Structure 1
Amino acid sequence: MRIAFSSNAYLRHTFDEAAERIAAIGYEGLELLADVPHAWPAGLLEVQKRGIRDAMERTGLAFSNVNCFMMNAVADPRQPYWYPSFIDADRNYRQIRIDHTRRSLTLCAELGAPHVTTEPGGPLEEGRSRQAAIDLFVEILKPLAEHAEKSGVLLLIEPEPGLLLETSDQYEEVADRVDAPSLGLNFDVGHAYCVSEDIPAAIARLAGQIRHYHFEDIAATRVHHHLVPGTGAIDFAEVVSAIKKTGYDGWLTVELYPFQDDPDAAARRALEVLRPLVTPAAGG
């Protein structure tokens, strides 16, 4: 397993600066934010794509993932991460999310990254039938999963508290209906803790579908607010041990977007906590 850091903590820095800092701290990988200011696909010129590739090569970083969950570029006043959503009542808003995801999958393939992570359906609006929203989400995912397969990348769904799919069971319901080899699960450890999942059990059960992990800590209150690993209530030694038992050898990406005031300090502390768990010292 290797540890990466998400560029979404570096929204006040250019992509070049973010890559340089993440590499200097000691991470092996970087999760690219498919959003402003780093890589908004709808407005990304070829020269900018070359700049991203050059920065990755220069720093020695590898792509752990492309994150197209956030949509700050749209600046939806309802909430800039969740909206526009896949299940928005307005089909025009839904199309914005669909088009963004499709462009992100194409960008992922162009850059040689392994997969894209996206939202699990968006918020369920008051008075809306959950089953109708699930049905809509499934039908939207099918052509996106097909585009991912044709592009040679994966589309990963990330369950999140407060959205249509909050738990691993709910993800499985949708994944079974889509039934596409290009569809997988981004297991966010903090989100799973928020909804009181048995994390080791969920990791063991879903090992065949988990293609990527997000790591952040959460307070004992289980309120969804990302904290630096080691400062909340999650037992990361237990989590990493459970992941190792599945034979997973991919990326663990630390996602700390609330720490934009000092992302370097947050990234450094997270690595200090996680690196000994992932790669113990010889003889240790």
Structure 2
Amino acid sequence: MKKSINAWAVDPETGFEEMFRQLHEAGFDGVELNVDAENHSAHSLTLSTTGEELRQLRALSKRYELPVVSISSSLYGGKMGSPDSVERAFTKTLLKKQLECAQALESGGILVVPGGGSPKISLVEDGRRSLETLLSLREEILKSGVYTGVENVWNGFFTSPFQMAEFIDRLDCPFVGAYFDVGNVVAFSWPEFWIEVLGERIHNVHIKDFKRRGGLNQGGAFVDLLLGDVNWKAVLPALRRTGFDGYLTAEVFREDSAVPEIPYEKFYSAVAKAMVRILEENEKEQ
């Protein structure tokens, strides 16, 4: 497995080229870019990013030997399962843009977020509309050859791996799978058991760590890698048993770290070193 990091971890004032340079020097093998709102950061993709800009980014990626491994987004925000047809249409536009970016940057996958996440939206309707939205894009996804990964986030939609697996299976598309976030289930479950259920559906992985306040469902907080309750010695073997051997993408934030005022470049290096420890210690256990 290889080390990647989401660009949200990077100082928002840092431009694309400097970001590629800094992350390469920190020891990462790849980076995940994001489609964000205009002016979100100096290294965000947007819905208006042009083909020429993508070609320039591809050249930077090659120059700094840092592949763009996947394309995420901050813009789903409960829209895919919304009763508002305009919001659902927006998610289709967004997903198509992510596919465009992924193809131009030679990325293997994109991250999408189904669900509406509101007490005013029933889970039955939320699921139906989210499925319909993705099914309407099935042919575009197939033609792209890019894996579309639905992610488990804290929006109340995927609260069980069985539910997530069923949702993916109902889409019946070889290029739709799970973008599994290890840290997002620790508050109420055990990620290694989600991996066991999701199995070969997993095509992309986010990692972060979470420290429980007590037992399950008692709260807690996201913390630095290796300082939380993720059992990495169970998680990595579980991933390997599914056949996964791709990028582990750290979705981490400096403000969640033990030293939130740490200079950004030192923060990147600390994350990379923690990921090396996670991988190396797991290798010793085999």
TM-score by length of 1: 0.86
Cα distance, 1:258–1:91 mapped onto 2, change above 3 Å: farther
| Match for residue 150 of structure 1 among 134, 137, 143 | 143
Letter aligned with residue 6 of structure 1: N
Aligned-partner Cα distance in 1 for 2:148–2:64: 26
Amino acid at match of 1:87: G
AA at the equivalent of 1:116:
I
1:90-125 deviation digits (Å, cap 9, x = unpaired): 2212222221111111221121100101113231x2
Deviations 1:43-80 (A, max 9, x none): 11233212211211111011221112x02xxxxxxxxx
**Which residue among 211, 230, 235 is the counterpart of 1:234?**
230
Partner of 1:74: none
> Contact between 1:167 and 1:195, CA under 8 Å: does it hold in 2?
no
1:48 aligns with 2:53: yes
- CA separation of 1:93/1:17 partners in 2, compared to 1, >3 Å: closer, same or farther? same
1:84 deviates by 5.5
Distance in 1 between the 2:116 and 2:145 partners?
A: 26
1:214 deviation in Å? 0.4
Q: State, as a whole percentage, how many aligned pairs show the same letter.
A: 21
Q: Give the superposition deviation at 1:89.
A: 2.8
The code of the aligned residue for 1:163 comes to: G
Query: Which residue does the alignment assign to 1:60?
Result: 65
Could you say what secondary structure the match of 2:33 adopts? strand
Please report how far the alpha carbon of residue 241 of structure 1 lies from its aligned counterpart in structure 2 after TM superposition.
Answer: 2.7
Would the aligned equivalents of 2:181 and 2:207 in 1 still touch at CA under 8 Å? yes
| Structure 2 unmatched ranges of 5 or more | none
Aligned residue among 80, 84, 105 for 1:86: 80
Q: Does residue 97 of structure 1 match 2:103?
A: no
Contact 2:34 2:44 in 1 (8 A): yes
- Decide whether the 8 Å contact of 1:63 with 1:113 is kept in 2: yes
Residue type matched to 1:108 in 2?
A: A
Q: Structure 1: 5+ residue runs without aligned partners?
A: 72-81
Deviations 1:155-176 (A, max 9, x none): 1000112332233222122112
Structure 2 distance, partners of 1:162, 1:18, is 30
Q: CA deviation at 1:39?
A: 4.1
What is the aligned-residue RMSD (CA, Å)?
Answer: 2.4
Q: Structure 1's 173 and 228: CA in aligned 2 closer, same or farther, altered over 3 A? A: same
1:109 equivalent in structure 2: 103
- Counterpart of 1:192 in structure 2 is 185
Counterpart-to-counterpart distance in 1, 2:151 and 2:250:
14
Question: Which of 113, 120, 130 is the equivalent residue of 1:119?
Answer: 113
Which of 212, 218, 232 aligns to 2:210? It is: 218
SS of the residue 1:230 aligns to? coil
Matched residue type, 1:130: L
Task: Give the structure 2 partner of residue 209 of structure 1.
Answer: 201
Alignment partner, residue 160 of structure 1: 153
- Give the C-alpha shift of residue 41 in structure 1: 4.0
Check 1:168–1:90 CA distance in 2 against 1; reply closer, same or farther (3 A cut): same
TM-score, normalised relative to structure 2: 0.86
Which stretch has the larger CA shift, 158-167 or 246-255?
A: 158-167
Matched to 1:18, the amino acid is M
Moved more, 261-270 or 87-96: 261-270
The Cα offsets for residues 233-273 of structure 1, whole Å up to 9 and x where unpaired, read as 22223222322333321110001145496443333222222
Q: Measured at CA, do residues 225 and 8 of structure 1 come closer, stay the same or move farther in structure 2, by a change above 3 Å?
A: farther
Alpha-carbon deviation of 1:281? 10
Separation (CA, whole Å) in 2 of partners of 1:159 and 1:280: 27
State the 1:225 CA deviation. Answer: 4.9
Q: Residue 115 of structure 1 contacts residue 154 of structure 1 at CA under 8 Å; is this kept in 2? A: yes
Quote the Cα distance in structure 2 between the aligned partners of 1:114 and 1:185: 13
Residues 6, 31 of structure 1: 8 Å contact kept: yes
Deviations 1:208-248 (A, max 9, x none): 10001100011213647543202222222322232233332
